Amino acid sequence: MKNKFLRNFLYILVSLGILVAFAVYLVLNSEKYLNLLNISKGDVLSMFLLSLLFPLINSLQNMYFYQGLGVKNFTFADSFLISSASTLANQLPIPGGILSRGFYFKKKFNLSYTKYTSSIFALFFFSVAVNGLAGLGVLTYWKLFTPIPVNTTLALAFFLMVASLLVFWIPMQKIRLPQKIQNLSNQAIEGWMTIRQSPGLIWKVILTQLAMIFFLSLRYWIAFRMVSQEVTFAQVLLFASASILTQLVTIAPGGLGVREAIVAGVATALGFDTSVSVVAVSLDRLVITIVIVLMGWVSTIILGRQISRAESANPVP
Q: Determine the 3-state secondary structure of 151 from DSSP.
A: coil
H helix and E strand count, the chain: 12, 0
**Does residue 212 surpass a pLDDT of 80?**
yes
**Does residue 135 surpass a pLDDT of 90?**
yes
pTM metric for this prediction: 0.86
Query: pLDDT, tens digit, for every residue of 145-172?
Result: 999 999 999 999 999 999 988 877 776 5
Query: pLDDT, tens digit, for every residue of 256-274?
Result: 778 888 999 999 999 999 8
Residue 35 has a pLDDT of 80
Point out the least confidently predicted range of 54-63, 211-220, 299-308. Answer: 299-308
Query: pLDDT, tens digit, for every residue of 36-70?
Result: 888 888 999 999 999 999 889 999 999 998 888 78
> Dihedral, CA atoms, 194, 199, 203, 209, nearest 10 degrees?
10
**Does residue 293 surpass a pLDDT of 60?**
yes
Determine how many CB atoms are found less than 10 A away from the CB of residue 26: 15
149: DSSP letter: P
Residue 143 has a pLDDT of 93
Residue 224 has a pLDDT of 95
Point out the least confidently predicted range of 111-125, 139-153, 250-264. Answer: 250-264
* Type and span of the H or E element at 158: helix 152-163
Residue 66 has a pLDDT of 87
How do the domains of the chain map onto residue ranges? 42-313
The backbone torsions φ and ψ at residue 256, rounded to the nearest 5 degrees and listed phi first, read -55, 125
Residue 312 has a pLDDT of 64
What is the separation of C-alpha 91 from the centre of its chain, rounded to a whole number of angstroms? Answer: 12
Determine how many CB atoms are found less than 10 A away from the CB of residue 67: 17
Point out the least confidently predicted range of 143-152, 228-237, 282-291, 306-315. Answer: 306-315
**Does residue 93 surpass a pLDDT of 60?**
no
3-state class percentages of the chain: helix first, strand second, coil last, to nearest 5: 80, 0, 20
Report the distance separating Cα 116 and Cα 120, nearest Å. Answer: 6
CB 53 within 8 A of CB 215: yes
Q: Give the sign of the dihedral formed by CA 148, CA 151, CA 156, CA 162.
A: negative
Rounded mean pLDDT, 4-29: 69
Residue 155 has a pLDDT of 94
* Radius of gyration for the alpha carbons in the chain, expressed in angstroms and rounded: 20
Q: Is 92 exposed, middle or buried (0-12, 13-18, 19+ CB in 10 A)?
A: middle
Q: Which of 276, 284, 278 is nearest to 229 (CA)?
A: 276
Long-range contacts of the stretch 143-150 (C-beta < 8 A, 24+): none
Query: pLDDT, tens digit, for every residue of 165-211?
Result: 887 777 656 666 666 666 666 677 777 777 877 778 889 999 999 99
